[in-house]
Copies of this chain bind each other. A is one copy, B any other.
Amino acid sequence: MAVESQAPERPGSPPLINVADYEQRARDLLAPGAWHASFGDYGDPEWETNTNNVDGFAQLYLRPRILVDVSRRDLTTRVLDVPASLPVLVAPSGLQQRWTREGELAMTRAAAAAGTIMALSTVASYSIEEIAAAAECPLFFQLYWMRERRITENLVRRAEAAGFRAVIVTVDIPGVASRERDKRYSWNLTGEEYTTVEKERILRNFRGVEPGTNVPTWATFNASVDDSVTWRDLEWLRMITTLPIVIKGLQTAEDARLCAEHGIDGIVVSNHGGFALDGSRATVAALPEVVDAAGASIEVYLDGGVRRGTDVLKALALGATAVFVGRAALWGLAVAAEDGARHVFEIIRGELDRAMAHCGVDDVKTVGADLVGAV
């Protein structure tokens, strides 16, 4: 049975027992603009997709089985042959210094403590090499495909050289996203200090590319993301790296079949947490058709709306190998840096462990589809 780590409680504040507590605490701590710009606002019809993700899990119920020996529960799994102590990974998320001074460095320590894998964003606050040098957890690299092909190649080769274990290609083209949040809310966090850090850190990953390329700045980043990439380009990517290739941002059976035809290794069913196209289904609602179409040769993961161990179990029952957690881990960072993120993972681990016991599941790798029904 899992041992839960201690919550980083503060005297006088409500206890931090579940992810909703972290969400509330983070909201209390952050400037309203920073909160809204990055985490949206449930109930705001403008940003319904993120709410859909959360509600999607509530539309599913668990069908617990009884009188199974669950005295030993195995939460360990392998993702693209990389071991993890639980089927919950750190989602790639940019500029984590927004949430705590050491940003992604703190997150790698939380991931290592939790025994899980962390995905690093192209637009991290630290470079590929800085993270690789410091991290004690396994790393995946999230790739934004840049118009300038040499930059894309540079990023992938550096990630492979630095020991990253997979490339996650984001294909939902956030470069063209509406960014209404950015227009509506100030994206600066706490003012001066962050601004300084920001200047120093933002888009640090692009510093390593050769001079003469059209290196993106923050102002030109969106326009620098390539919106002409097709399956044929994926073949080029396959040629320049031996790393497993994961497609992130896929929502349909049609595209899952194309992944299978193109030898893709993994799929993240994702709508970019509601930041790309509004009007998408809950990712957990799209998961079944993707799993069916992907077939046995591709691992399927999910992100979006995971707040509870029962959410993880539902996703596994529907065929996911693992889930990625974004917001929840970032709220942990915002509340108590590494300790907060680590505790969030322990909360979810404890909930998953208990949910397994209640459901008669003793191994996350063999969760049956009958465990879930739809309201």
A contact residues vs B (CB 8 Å cutoff): 1, 15, 17-18, 20, 45-46, 48, 52, 58, 60-71, 171-173, 176-178, 180, 183-184, 226-231, 233-234, 247, 249-252, 254-255, 258, 276-281, 308, 310, 314, 350-351, 353-355, 357-359, 370, 373, 375
Expressed in whole angstroms, the minimum distance between the Cβ of A344 and any Cβ of chain B is 15
Cβ of A370 and Cβ of B277 under 8 Å apart?
no
**Cα–Cα, bound, A353→B178 (Å):** 10
Contacts of A276 in B (CB 8 A): 64, 358
**Cα–Cα, bound, A15→B70 (Å):** 48
A277 and B228 contact, Cβ closer than 8 Å, known pairs A66-B255, A252-B65: no
With A52-B61, A66-B249 known, 13 other A-B pairs at CB within 8 A are A15-B183, A18-B180, A63-B251, A65-B255, A67-B171, A67-B230, A67-B255, A69-B227, A69-B228, A71-B228, A277-B310, A278-B310, A281-B375
**Cα–Cα, bound, A225→B6 (Å):** 24
Cβ of A68 and Cβ of B277 under 8 Å apart?
no
**Cα–Cα, bound, A184→B7 (Å):** 13
Cβ of A355 and Cβ of B277 under 8 Å apart?
yes
Cβ of B67 and Cβ of A258 under 8 Å apart?
yes
Cβ of A373 and Cβ of B281 under 8 Å apart?
yes
Query: How many identical chains are in the complex?
Result: 4
**Cα–Cα, bound, A177→B64 (Å):** 13
**Cα–Cα, bound, A234→B250 (Å):** 47
**Cα–Cα, bound, A310→B277 (Å):** 9
Cβ of B65 and Cβ of A254 under 8 Å apart?
yes
Contacts of A171 in B (CB 8 A): 66-67
Contacts of A45 in B (CB 8 A): 20, 58
Expressed in whole angstroms, the minimum distance between the Cβ of A251 and any Cβ of chain B is 6
Contact of A67 among B229, B277, B314, B351 (CB under 8 A): B229
Listed by A's residue number, 13 A-B pairs whose Cβ atoms lie within 8 Å are: A17-B183, A18-B180, A60-B279, A62-B277, A67-B234, A67-B247, A68-B230, A69-B229, A71-B227, A176-B354, A177-B358, A227-B357, A252-B370
Contacts of A48 in B (CB 8 A): 58
**Cα–Cα, bound, A277→B252 (Å):** 31
Contact of A279 among B15, B61, B226, B230 (CB under 8 A): B61
Contacts of A370 in B (CB 8 A): 252, 254
